[in-house]
A and B are shown apart, each in its own frame.
Chain A
Amino acid sequence: MVRYGSRTRRLSAALLAGALTLSLTGCGSSGGRDENVVTYWSMWKENEPQAQVLHQTAAAFERDTGTKVDIQWQGRDVLKKIVPALRGGEVPDLVDQDQNLMRATLVSSGAYRDLTGLYNSPVSDGRKVSDVIAPRYADAVKNDGKPFLAPYEVIGYGLWFDASQLPEVAAKPPRTWREFVELLAHRKAAGRAPLALDADIGQYNNLWTTGLLQGALGAEQVNQLAADHSGEAWRRHPGVRPVLEEIATLVRDGYFVPGYNGSKWPAIQEKWAQGEADFLLMGSWAPSETGAKARPGFQYHFAPLPTPGDQRYVPVESIGFAIPARAQHAGNAERFIAYVLRDEHLGKIATVAKNLTPNPELPAPPELTSLAEAAEQLHVARSEDGIQADYPGYTEEVLWPVNNQFLKGQLDIEGFFQQLKEKQANYWKKKG
């Protein structure tokens, strides 16, 4: 037994020495790094169409420039994985995510690279990056005038419906709230369920509330209401109550498909794709997400959400590249971004990944042409008025829980104001 004890000690000493040696050599190898490389942590998973497009582009980039793009398919939580690294670990040269998350992570901690230089650099045919990214998207991804994101995909929000069932609506979509409500009443009278909504998803409920408020109050006004530390601003603003009354009417009069408030996502959007309801208020992933369940002959069509106000917006958000401030190969990363933005590569985001690009010159996929037109003609606003990006946690702890009950018909307008006030004051007291 004694001998075993000393042997154990020797063994553990050897193991420890081995571990030390390994960690030392590990440190050594990271010292001499290859300069012709870009480390890219991607928000996509390898089997997603966007990943395939980016993977092919990276291969072409390596062929053309000799610079290897080392891609790690991290998935949607990519930025959560970067936070610990930002503190001192090795950061990638390139990351991508939507503008809200990027703002809340890289921008709020000041760990992003100012992409002004990139926006002035050439893409192809004498065009610069700032020429291929439409200003309406580029303007929304700046912090103190400095761009932090280079968008390559744009998500737009609005009403989706089947043009084969509603050809007259596709030809002449409702422009005013009155027209829209009349259309809904007409459809309901014909025995149809006019609106689809998976009401267990806070964001989907809020697309209604914030979407309508944006039109009535103007862009960035809901954002201002959310910034009020007392939480009273919602009740005090004269424009809010009339909009809430319109929503309460939709709920009370049963315009939402039966079961919308007791289901589990994606049950209702699948019902909609099966033709059991007319309109779905959602982002431009609707066609790709519901496509597999859609009834044969379903023609996806988009219409901007009419609102009780004077203005109509298309809420949008961009997905794009950002470069951490401490990236070791920021120059290579910028060259790769410019390369991705070339027509022949960016075009595949539309043709292969079936999404909208920030370059209005490129053709949109057929399902999204109506969205592309709307985004061109109308003003764009930030989705959910930017409250997710500007006030992290606000939607989860304040607006969604209250608005969910409101959209499910469990809370009246007075209750909405009261709960919102309490939760909002609580939120800001914490942040104070």
Chain B
Amino acid sequence: MSAPALRAARVEPRRQVVRAGSAFTPLGRRRRRLFWPFLLPALVTYLGFFIAPAAASMWISFHRWDGVGEMSPRGLDNYRTLLGDSAFLGAFVNTMIILVLVGASTFAMSFALTMVLRDMRGRRFVRAVLFFPYIVAPVVLSVLWGFLFRSPEGLFSAAWNALTGSPGPNWLGEHLFAVILVGLIWVNTGFYTTIIMAGVDRIPPDLYEDCALAGATAWQRFRHVTLPLSWEVVATAAVLWTISSLKIFEFIYAFGGTTNDMPTLEVWNSALFVYGSTFGGRVPQYQFGYASASAVVTLAAMTVLVVLLRRLMRREAVQF
């Protein structure tokens, strides 16, 4: 990799002059007066719809509550029980598997596709096709996947049979969670490919020409140009994924469950556990205190992960 290909990071010098918008100018005063009217609607909405329910969940998590009668305080008992509850721990582990395994695979796939698509003709069209699974309702997709993977007559099982001559694994009966993971990778790859491609598209082509002249391999191009120059985008996408992976619900629900039933316990993630402890199932449990505690634990774990991820992925921004 030739040195000139990378330009030194440039930190913008701070301006010392009084800016036009500073508080002391007439424009600044007017801006200040408009500060609250502009901020207030968003602030009120955010407080009312995000912070208040989160705080309420926190409060409820210290109680036993069926949603109808009075709440009775339980102190930290809900949390103590959670840590020994195999149903919750299983769901939590599944959430982590989705976060790490599906996340890593999705990003690897997205980068691979980005590399392929960069030089491809008709890539806008291909990108749109890749994005397609993301906009189709997860319920529809999971029904489709159910048809693909059922054995022995599902399309996938039939293809397996035709190729290998053996009936193959019982996908839905014995490997349901694995199939769900593959499904989630497939659904999300298009979305993250689009985001990463947007970052990669901004990289000036002359850098790649430089690479070609220097005789860099595809891996070197990726390692020394693509990745560092799209790092900001990747870091943001990673945080996006972490947060959205926590909320995955309908794909698993529709794939593993039916109109009446939750999916089987082995494929629950934290979101399904919260639903199963409150409104889910044939006869709901209505354990709002306990479910809130599980949601708080998951939220706390995710917050820690996002902070760690941000720290881990923090790099000096490369200007180009």
Which residues in A have some Cβ–Cβ distance to B below 8 Å? 1-2, 5, 8-9, 12, 76, 80, 83-84, 86-87, 100-101, 104-105, 108-111, 199-203, 258-259, 261-265, 267, 388-389, 392-393, 395-397, 400-401, 404, 408, 410, 422-423, 426-427, 429-430
Contacts and interface: CB of A to CB of B under 8 A. Distances in A.
Contacts of B69: 109-110
B85 interface: yes
Contacts of B85: 426, 429-430
18 contacts: A86-B67, A105-B284, A200-B258, A203-B260, A203-B261, A262-B170, A263-B151, A264-B147, A388-B283, A392-B283, A393-B285, A393-B287, A396-B276, A396-B280, A397-B276, A401-B264, A410-B174, A427-B87
A83 B286 contact: yes
Contacts of B68: 83, 86-87, 109, 111
Contacts of A262: 150-152, 157, 170-174
Q: In this complex, which of A86, A259, A262 has the most chain B Cβ atoms within 10 angstroms of its Cβ? A: A262
Contact of B258 (A201, A422, A426): A201
Interface of B: 30, 33-34, 37, 66-69, 81, 84-87, 146-147, 150-153, 157, 170-174, 258, 260-262, 264-266, 276-277, 279-287, 290
Contacts of B260: 76, 203
Contact of B265 (A8, A267, A401): A401
Given A199-B173, A202-B264, A395 B281 contact: yes
Given A1-B30, A201-B258, A100 B67 contact: no
Contact of A393 (B30, B147, B264, B277): B277
Do most interface residues of chain B lie in helix, strand or loop, or is the interface mixed?
loop
Contacts, number: 126
A5 B281 contact: no
A200 B152 CA distance: 14
A393 B260 CA distance: 14
Contacts of B152: 258-259, 262
Contacts of A429: 81, 84-85
A274 to B, nearest CB: 13
A404 B277 contact: no
Contacts of B33: 2, 5
Contacts of A84: 67
Nearest to A389: B283
Contacts of A83: 67-68, 286
Contact of A101 (B30, B276, B282): B282
A315 B14 CA distance: 79
B151 A202 contact: no
Nearest to B262: A396
Given A263-B150, A393-B276, 6 more contacts: A1-B34, A5-B30, A76-B260, A83-B68, A87-B67, A262-B172
Given A101-B282, A393-B277, A264 B172 contact: yes
Contact of B285 (A202, A203, A392, A401): A392
A401 B261 CA distance: 12
Q: In this complex, which of B171, B265, B276 has the most chain A Cβ atoms within 10 angstroms of its Cβ? A: B265
Nearest to A268: B150
A2 B32 CA distance: 10
Nearest to A404: B264
Nearest to A83: B67
Given A2-B30, A87-B68, A392 B281 contact: yes
Q: In this complex, which of A8, A105, A264 has the most chain B Cβ atoms within 10 angstroms of its Cβ? A: A264
7 A-B pairs with least C-beta separation: A262-B151, A393-B285, A262-B173, A109-B68, A264-B146, A401-B265, A262-B170
Contacts of A396: 261-262, 265, 276, 280-282
A427 B283 CA distance: 15
Nearest to B285: A393
Nearest to B277: A393
Contacts of B261: 201-203, 396
A267 B286 contact: no
A213 to B, nearest CB: 19
B289 to A, nearest CB: 11
A200 B34 CA distance: 59
Nearest to B265: A401
A109 B288 CA distance: 14
A111 to B, nearest CB: 6
B258 A265 contact: yes
A87 B285 CA distance: 16
A405 B67 CA distance: 33
A105 B171 CA distance: 37
